[in-house]
A and B are shown apart, each in its own frame.
Chain A
């Protein structure tokens, strides 16, 4: 079974700072997804990364994928309070889908 590890599990950062969330997975995959979940809410799709070296950016968030290293990163630039949420990566292999443990991000004013 594919294992997906995210770190850190909890992240508290000040507004305006930069930080990176890491997502490591244990076996080959060419599909990596990032989701955001607000408390008590459902998942919101952020990025779908489908090839080695893929980089996508939306606002203050940028995601990248290194399939050789089995690593994806979600970089946060100049954090704002609205980014406070839990972020999940998910890895697709075959027709299965495996989620990371999630990173709970709190942005402090």
Chain B
């Protein structure tokens, strides 16, 4: 079956702009979680959506937001981009929400570069 699909794979944006990233989970999975990976901070949890509701949010400013649609596809938005937002953004798909110990399957990521 198809895996987790993230689009686009690469993005270059200018400081101050906003960006929207997309994640299509594995069919039947209802949870989508988002992560930021940078060389300096490592892997950090951004937030999780389950059945169109945000279940929790990591320690990121309000410029980072997301949503989930009825078909479980999720989007992540970053407004007023800063140079420090340059990172690999990963999404993961799970059958149930993370608190249940469900296994998470990751997409290939979106590499965002802010110039």
Interface residues of A (CB under 8 A from B): 1, 30-31, 33, 35, 41-45, 48, 50, 88, 90, 92, 94-99, 101-102
Q: Is A92 touching B42 in the complex (CB atoms < 8 A)?
A: no
On whether A92 and B98 interact (CB within 8 A), knowing A42-B109, A99-B42, the answer reads yes
Stretch of B12-20, B53-61, B63-71, B74-82 contacting A (4+ beta carbons < 8 Å)? B53-61
Q: Is B45 touching A31 in the complex (CB atoms < 8 A)?
A: no
On whether A45 and B43 interact (CB within 8 A), knowing A1-B59, A94-B56, A97-B33, the answer reads no
Apart from A1-B59, A95-B97, 15 more pairs, CB < 8 Å: A33-B104, A42-B90, A42-B107, A44-B106, A45-B106, A92-B98, A92-B99, A94-B56, A94-B99, A95-B55, A96-B58, A97-B45, A97-B58, A99-B45, A102-B42
Q: How far is the CA of A101 from the CA of B106 in the complex (A)?
A: 18
Chain B nearest CB from A83 CB (Å) reads 19
Tell which of B35, B42, B104, B109 touches A45, judged by Cβ atoms closer than 8 Å.
B104
Instruction: Return chain B residues, CB-CB under 8 Å to A96.
Output: 45, 56, 58
Q: How far is the CA of A48 from the CA of B90 in the complex (A)?
A: 19
**Which partner residue on chain B sits nearest A30 by CB separation?**
B101
Judged by a CB distance under 8 angstroms, whether B108 is at the interface is yes
Judged by a CB distance under 8 angstroms, whether B44 is at the interface is yes
Q: Is B106 touching A95 in the complex (CB atoms < 8 A)?
A: no
Instruction: Return chain A residues, CB-CB under 8 Å to B108.
Output: 41-42
Which residues 8-59 of B have a CB within 8 angstroms of A? 33, 35, 42-45, 48, 55-56, 58-59
